[in-house]
Amino acid sequence: MWTINCIPFSQELNRKDEIRRTIQKMLSIPIIAVVGGIGSGKSTVAAEFAQLGCAVFDADRVAHELLLERQVQQELVNCFGAGIRNNRGRIDRKKLAEAAFANPASVGKINAIFHPRVMEECHRRVKQYQQDPAYRAIVLDVPLILEAGGGGRYDRLVFVDCPWEIRLARAAGKGLTAEEIKKRENFQISLDKKRAMAHYIVQNDTDRPAVTEQVRRILAAMNDNR
């Protein structure tokens, strides 16, 4: 009789232990923010984290989706004029960038429109990702997370370092000139300061396998410290 009674009790203990371990793992999933200069390869690094079992929040994708919302479009037109629309009535991203990065006041206006919305969605997604203990970490690919006041939203900061010449070549492929890059980065926290704030640095100036190995080591180091 004792044997019959103890089997369910033992199973119940094991089930509770498993639930407790799952909850502990969910609560301890580290949040990693990835920052760096324009063209440094932040999204490439984030993609490598994803390949290694991490959830990734892509702020640029969210921002592109926001541009399709009527309310956001109207706020942008109110701030920067109807000239930022193309001939189909949609927001022209290049014209918007030219208007938004014209001066500090304009930068403040566009940040006020996008930052709260992006960070709100970031918070929602992080809560969602935290429900899945299968993720090794949650990665925030939010280029301006420091400027948006998101310093308390991550556990570790990863800085993607890359020489200016390589960054310029990559950005040129997206239609950005050296002058445009410098103008935009002048309105951001300096790269030197971001680098100094980082817990880890990924050097992205060789090939993809080298980036993969650096990301793998970062995850291993974080797991060792948990």
The answer to whether the CB of 113 falls within 8 A of the CB of 72 is yes
Domains of the chain: 30-225 (3.40.50.300)
Q: Give the C-alpha distances (Å, rounded to integers) separating 205 from 40, 167, 176, 209, 217.
A: 9, 9, 19, 11, 17
The answer to whether the CB of 130 falls within 8 A of the CB of 28 is no
Q: What is the pLDDT of residues 70-92, one digit of tens each?
A: 999 999 999 999 999 999 989 99
Three-state SS string over 113-179 comes to HHHHHHHHHHHHHHHHHCCCCCCCCEEEECCCCCCCCCHHHCCEEEEEECCHHHHHHHHHCCCCCHH
The answer to whether the CB of 149 falls within 8 A of the CB of 155 is no
The per-residue pLDDT for 188 is: 94
Confidence of residue 124 (pLDDT cuts 50, 70, 90): very high
Which residues are 23's β-sheet partners?
none
What CA–CA distance (Å, rounded) separates 169 from 155?
32
Q: What is the pLDDT of residues 13-57, one digit of tens each?
A: 455 444 444 444 445 799 999 999 999 999 999 999 999 999 999
Quick one: what percent of the chain has pLDDT higher than 70? Answer: 85
Confidence of residue 151 (pLDDT cuts 50, 70, 90): low
The per-residue pLDDT for 27 is: 53
CA 198 from centre of chain: 14
pTM of the model: 0.84
Q: What is the pLDDT of residues 189-207, one digit of tens each?
A: 999 999 999 999 999 999 9
What CA–CA distance (Å, rounded) separates 53 from 187?
34
